[in-house]
């Protein structure tokens, strides 16, 4: 029972652990999922900001490249002696166009005093042969003291090309920039310019970056205050808004990532591409020269990362759900099987209790030892029979109350149960705690596991003390009864015989007749007592068949001869047919003689005058068959079943004769069976009976 | 005891006979008187029963050779006394005084030879 309780506790703990594991797994799953989610989110943000950073970098790069070109151009212009051909070839040589086809426009606009404007114009006309200069004029016309007309222009854009001769001082925005540029000798960017203001109907917009040109090549070596006096004009570049973004590169990247970009110059949105909405936003203030632009990026989160990374949180989520579900199913099945096991255990416990109670209460002593003979269980009877307390028995060995037999016995005993692994049965003498010896019947079975390994020995011991005592009393009683009953019978017999034979003087005929009747009755009584005592001896197991080598032919002949005279006096006929081949066999001569005597006496008794009795003895298979056949009164059908019962006498037999005891056939059958043979009969009422029995042919003891 | 009278009546004329009524006196008589034959009953009053008497008789060289005829009412004894050295044993209910006399004569004749 204790073992089962322990199992219960263990199982309870296991259930709690399983449920805890489920909770832990769930918590872990939530953590993993949120971690993956967050890191994907971070990656997305990084990617997005990376694009933003790259954009900013590109814009700055473009600008510094342009500024650099302007400085180069200033150097070129300030050397003097240029014309439109050299201008064009210079700009072609620095490969602006091949790198950024159609995007950039470079111009040189000299400062011309109003008074010298005529000369300037005629110079242009004299120097330039190009078609673009055929109509060269300074426009729009103004009254200002100085004009700054575009003298050289490098562009592929025909709209921009039409600006050749444009006086930049007519644009307020450009004048502001010009002043600032000349004052600080720095590149300056104008506000957004609309060509439409100059060329009506044109919608193009753009910025101009300008840099002052001085008549000294090494102007950088002069202090800023002095530079003003050498000022001779401006170099500038027209930048389309797209040009700032170094044209297609950035656009492609942005498109690929699904990010839309809008650039603001103050409140004016001057460029935008991509129209995707999205919840990722980034705003950058980018300062180009002294002007600040606002770049607004809007990203669609699903498009930024590659498909696999994007689906990672989802995959993780479902993966974790599956793992959780599987573990949940596992736990459920474990818990269910646990419940099943519990039920089985409870049933087993019930069974165990039942058996334990049964074993505890039986009247035999039950002892279980391990394979070394150490006692691990005893029932109540063990304490009672041996006299030792349970506490003393457990852990000890059965030698505590055994050890009374010789060594040979124990050697054989251990061989049987430990080496042959077979049950041992036998009678032993043991010793109680109080020193009293007792006889017991033991039955020890080895208990093996499936592989045949010894586990335990279960010993069942029955105290034979009481049984033996009863047996002894019975035997003593029979002895006593035997003597006490026979003593008076023999006295009657002896003295009766003396009277009859005249030892106490002659009797007159009537006296003699009476004494003879007394004698006869006494003889019958002696037979009855002998039979009765035989029966009780048999029933108490006291009949001893003591076989000796016996000549059966002789035995049967002598019995037949004993009967001969009596039979003939009765006018009946008794014959014996005995096979001469019958060998000497081992039988109890006295007992078997009793059987023959009994059967023949019956046959004689129950035949009428001129009855015929035949005794046949012959070999049949492996036994000697004897038949005693008569033509007497037979046995009525109703009584046939009970012929061999104790004290049975058939009705017709009772009518005919009262001398039988009803024990003869009963005893005969027992004697035959104890000798290893069988007995039976055939009979028809009024026709006769045949009693037969067999004896085994035993020629060796 | 009951049979003493029968023995006396039947045999006293024929044999020189002493009758002992218990084992001890019977044994004593056998040793001092040394009879030609002893008729012994198994069931005797007193400490010594017939079996003890027979054992003592056979132990003593003086009495060991005397033939003994045992009579008893205990069928188990028949075999036993023969083994112990008795010459013949009868169940009391199976014999009468005539048969005993016959047997006594037979045994006497045998021992004389």
Can you give the pLDDT at residue A103?
67
What's the CA dihedral at B65, B67, B72, B77 to 10 degrees?
50
Can you give the pLDDT at residue A618?
93
Cβ of A494 within 8 Å of Cβ of B43? The answer is no
Low-confidence ranges of chain A (pLDDT < 50): 1
B109 has pLDDT over 50: yes
Cβ of B10 within 8 Å of Cβ of A503? The answer is yes
| Model confidence, pTM | 0.43
Can you give the pLDDT at residue A158?
80
Reading the block at residue A561, the tokens are 């001869």
Can you give the pLDDT at residue A657?
62
Can you give the pLDDT at residue A97?
59
> Considering CB atoms only, which of A479, A486, A503 is closest to B93?
A486
| ipTM summary value | 0.82
> Considering CB atoms only, which of B9, B75, B93 is closest to A493?
B93
Residue A293 phi/psi, 5-degree rounding, is: -110, 150
Interface test with B, best of A478, A484, A494, A524 (most B CBs within 10 A): A494
Q: What is d(CA A332, CA A328) in angstroms, rounded to the nearest whole number? A: 6
- Intra-chain end-to-end CA distance of chain B, in Å: 33
> Quick check: A628 and A613 in contact, CB under 8 A?
yes
Residue in chain B lying closest to A502 (CA) = B10
Q: What is d(CA A111, CA A645) in angstroms, rounded to the nearest whole number? A: 164
Can you give the pLDDT at residue A8?
56
Can you give the pLDDT at residue A388?
92
Cβ of A490 within 8 Å of Cβ of B75? The answer is no
pLDDT single digits (tens) B61-70: 889 999 999 9
> Quick check: A632 and A611 in contact, CB under 8 A?
yes
> Considering CB atoms only, which of B91, B92, B97 is closest to A498?
B97
pLDDT single digits (tens) A439-473: 899 999 999 988 888 889 999 999 888 888 887 78
User: CB distance from A489 to chain B under 8 Å?
Assistant: yes
Residue in chain B lying closest to A542 (CA) = B76
Can you give the pLDDT at residue A1?
46
User: CB distance from B9 to chain A under 8 Å?
Assistant: yes
Can you give the pLDDT at residue A266?
79
- Intra-chain end-to-end CA distance of chain A, in Å: 56
CA angle A313, A314, A317 (to 5 degrees): 85
Residues of A in contact with B90 (CB under 8 A): none
The Cα of A356 is separated from the nearest Cα of chain B by a number of Å equal to 48
């Amino acid at each position: 029972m204790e073992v089962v309780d322990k199992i219960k506790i263990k199982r309870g703990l296991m259930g709690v652990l399983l449920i805890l594991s489920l909770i832990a797994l769930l918590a872990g799953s939530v953590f993993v999922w949120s971690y993956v989610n967050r890191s994907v989110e971070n990656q997305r943000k990084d990617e997005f900001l990376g694009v933003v950073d790259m954009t900013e970098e590109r814009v700055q790069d473009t600008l510094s490249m342009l500024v650099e070109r302007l400085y180069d151009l200033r150097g070129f212009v300030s050397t003097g002696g240029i014309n439109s051909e050299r201008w064009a070839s210079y700009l072609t040589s620095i490969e602006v166009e091949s790198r950024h086809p159609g995007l950039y426009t470079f111009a040189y606009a000299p400062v011309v005093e109003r008074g010298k404007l005529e000369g300037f114009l005629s110079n242009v006309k004299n120097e330039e042969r190009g078609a673009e200069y055929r109509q060269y004029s300074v426009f729009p016309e103004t009254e200002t003291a100085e004009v700054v007309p575009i003298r050289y222009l490098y562009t592929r854009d025909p709209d921009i090309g039409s600006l050749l001769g444009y006086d930049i001082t007519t644009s307020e925005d450009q004048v502001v920039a010009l002043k600032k540029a000349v004052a600080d000798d720095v590149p300056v960017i104008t506000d957004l310019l609309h060509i439409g203001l100059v060329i009506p109907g044109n919608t193009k917009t753009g910025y101009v970056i300008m840099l002052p040109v001085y008549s000294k090549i090494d102007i950088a070596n002069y202090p800023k205050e002095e530079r003003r006096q050498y000022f001779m004009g401006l170099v500038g570049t027209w930048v389309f808004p797209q040009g700032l973004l170094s044209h297609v590169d950035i656009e492609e990247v942005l498109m690929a990532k699904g990010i839309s970009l809008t650039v603001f110059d103050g409140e004016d949105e001057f460029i935008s591409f991509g129209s995707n909405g999205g919840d990722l936003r980034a705003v950058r203030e980018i300062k180009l020269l002294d002007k600040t632009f606002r770049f607004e990026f809007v990203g669609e989160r699903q498009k930024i990362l590659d498909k696999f990374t994007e689906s990672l949180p989802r995959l993780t989520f479902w993966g974790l759900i599956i793992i959780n579900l599987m573990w949940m199913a596992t736990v459920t099945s474990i818990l269910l099987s646990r419940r099943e096991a519990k039920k089985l255990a409870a049933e087993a416990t019930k069974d165990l209790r039942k058996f334990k109670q049964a074993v505890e209460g039986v009247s035999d002593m039950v002892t279980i030892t391990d394979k070394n003979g150490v006692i691990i269980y005893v029932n109540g009877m063990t304490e009672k029979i041996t006299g030792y307390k349970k506490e003393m028995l457990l852990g000890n060995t059965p030698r505590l109350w055994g050890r009374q037999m010789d060594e040979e016995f124990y050697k054989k005993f251990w061989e049987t149960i430990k080496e042959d692994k077979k049950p041992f049965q036998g009678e032993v003498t043991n010793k109680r705690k109080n020193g009293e010896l007792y006889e017991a019947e033991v039955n020890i079975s080895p208990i093996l596991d499936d592989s045949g390994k010894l586990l335990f020995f279960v010993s069942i011991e029955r105290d034979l003390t009481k049984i033996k005592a009863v047996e002894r009393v019975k035997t003593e009683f029979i002895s006593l009864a035997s003597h006490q009953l026979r003593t008076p019978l023999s006295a009657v017999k002896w003295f009766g015989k003396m009277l009859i034979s005249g030892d106490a003087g002659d009797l007159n005929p009537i006296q003699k007749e009476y004494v003879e009747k007394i004698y006869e009755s006494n003889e019958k009584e002696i037979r009855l007592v002998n039979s009765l005592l035989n029966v009780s001896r048999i029933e108490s197991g006291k009949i001893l068949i003591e076989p000796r080598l016996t000549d059966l032919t002789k035995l049967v002949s002598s019995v037949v001869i004993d009967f001969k005279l009596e039979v003939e006096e009765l006018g009946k006929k008794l014959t014996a047919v005995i096979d001469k081949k019958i060998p000497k066999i081992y039988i109890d001569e006295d007992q078997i003689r009793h059987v023959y005597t009994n059967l023949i006496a019956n046959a004689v008794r129950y035949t009428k005058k001129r009855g015929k009795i035949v005794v046949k003895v012959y070999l049949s298979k492996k036994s000697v068959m004897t038949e005693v056949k008569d033509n007497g009164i037979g046995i009525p059908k109703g009584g046939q079943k009970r012929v061999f019962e104790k004290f049975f006498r058939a009705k017709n037999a009772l009518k005919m004769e009262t001398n039988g005891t009803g024990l003869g056939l009963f005893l005969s059958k027992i004697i035959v069976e104890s000798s290893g043979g069988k007995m039976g009969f055939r009979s028809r009422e009024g026709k006769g009976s045949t009693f037969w029995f067999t004896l085994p042919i035993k020629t060796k003891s | 005891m009951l049979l003493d009278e029968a023995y006396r009546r039947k045999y006293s004329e024929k044999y020189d006979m002493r009758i002992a009524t218990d084992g001890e006196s019977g044994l004593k008589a056998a040793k001092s008187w040394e009879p030609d034959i002893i008729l012994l009953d198994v069931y005797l009053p007193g400490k010594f029963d017939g079996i003890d008497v027979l054992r003592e008789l056979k132990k003593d060289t003086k009495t060991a050779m005397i033939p003994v005829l045992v009579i008893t009412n205990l069928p188990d004894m028949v075999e036993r006394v023969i083994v112990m050295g008795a010459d013949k044993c009868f169940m009391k209910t199976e014999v009468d005084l005539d048969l005993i006399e016959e047997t006594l004569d037979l045994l006497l004749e045998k021992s004389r030879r």
